[in-house]
Amino acid sequence: MTVLAFVIGIVLMIVGLAVSIALHELGHLVPAKRFGVRVGQYMIGFGPTLWSRQIGETQYGFKAIPLGGYISMAGMYPPSPKERAQAARGQRSGRAGGGFFATMVQDARVANDETLLSDDDDRVFYRLPVWKRVVIMLGGPVMNLLFAIVLFSILLSGIGVQTATTTVSSVSECIIPADAGRTVCAASDPVAPAAAAGLMPGDVLVEVDGQSISTFAEASAIIRESPGRSLTVVVERDGSRQTLTLTPAAIDQPVTDAAGQPVLDANGAAQTQTVGFAGIRQEVQYLHQPVWAGSATAVENVGAVAGIIWQLPVKVYETAVTLVSGGERDPNGPLSIVGAGILSGEVAAAEAPILNRVAGFLGLLASLNVALFVFNLVPLLPLDGGHIVVALWDGIKRTWAKIFRRPPPKPVDATKLVPVTFVVVIGLIVMGAVLILADLINPVSIL
């Protein structure tokens, strides 16, 4: 059953990723069509086409590799007169001289020219005003951000945040030694202090040792600091208050640091401390957050992800080092889609109530969409942020010409940046491969 749940979690993440990609491309498609741009394809995934359907002038479909998507807009770049003239005479040049990058530039221009119907084709991207081009390219990332806000809102306002109450959910019957290797009480085990004091499930803690209690953590702190000392405990039971006497047992517990790791002494042995133990567990409830909590959480996540993206090459290098050395990975470092799928599988297979697992999945998918939003705004081609920078540069050139009463400049030809785009793509492929290998060999785990 655990294996099946793990597989279901991975499948759900794949479906969630496909929905996220579909919404991203829809964010490009809708404004593009609204502004009159001719869109030839709307595809989810890359590689061989699994299914497609022609609706009007646009082909909609799914491809085999669900790691992205695209829409094909006419005239992303201005036409190249030389290649268009050659094409008109049936003399398509094919590969160009001048080296590898020159060939790439010409191929990009030829591919772009094939989306144009004529030199005066006005249903093309590059002819749009700058603000419309920015809106189209921003549409995709913004859809991911909005989807993340919806998911966080469902998580925080719909499901709620798990909060420990002052209500006792269960009382241990006995104290079982940590090295006993069992969970069932034996006749020789001492009675747990809470059971001896008469505490019962459903009791609401009101006071402990004369201090008013508003959270279970406050009661727990007093108990831990009072091993072997009698405490008066006031509880509310069936509408009335009762005063009980609780004497926490003294037990040895490992000392941990801020990360939850054992603290070792000079000889490498785990340090321990004596703390008080009562044997009660708190009741956990889901508290619904305000409707704006989802938006606030999404914005906070944007800042956190932006910090990671800014240092992405360094973070990926550190991940590569742990891949070779087998060291522990940074739990807040970058993940690949494979890593997100593994975490989703772990959430689905965890021994927890179904609502907890649903909440965990929604949080993962929401965080993934925040990452897609931030990553796609990086100002480098072929990412959306790169196209936005090109559009803004075109606008700056035109504004400069108007101010100084010069002739309108030619549209910015982004095909000249194809070599830079190629380098960026290779870099993304390498970083993606490192993260995928790390997620397979040395994954980050929630367990």
The H-assigned helical ranges of 35-80 are: none
Secondary structure class of 214 (helix, strand, coil) = coil
Which of 5, 32, 75, 19 minimizes the C-alpha distance to 365?
Answer: 19
User: Residue 353, CB half-sphere, CA atoms under 13 Å: how many?
Assistant: 8
Crossing angle between the packed helical segments 418-441 and 100-113, to the nearest 10 degrees: 100
Cβ contact 161:45 at 8 Å: no
Would you state the structure tokens that stand for residue 204, as one six-digit string? 């609401």
The H-assigned helical ranges of 167-254 are: 193-197, 216-224
CA dihedral angle for residue 397, residue 403, residue 404, residue 409, rounded to 10 degrees: 30
Secondary structure class of 108 (helix, strand, coil) = helix
173 is catalytic: no
**C-alpha span between 292 and 280 (Å, rounded):** 35
DSSP 335-360: --HHHHHHHHHHHHHSSS-HHHHHHH
Catalytic residue among 25, 57, 207, 283: 25
**C-alpha span between 283 and 313 (Å, rounded):** 44
Give yes or no for a cis peptide into 382 (omega within 30° of 0): yes
CA dihedral angle for residue 95, residue 97, residue 99, residue 100, rounded to 10 degrees: -10
Where in the sequence numbering do the catalytic residues fall?
25
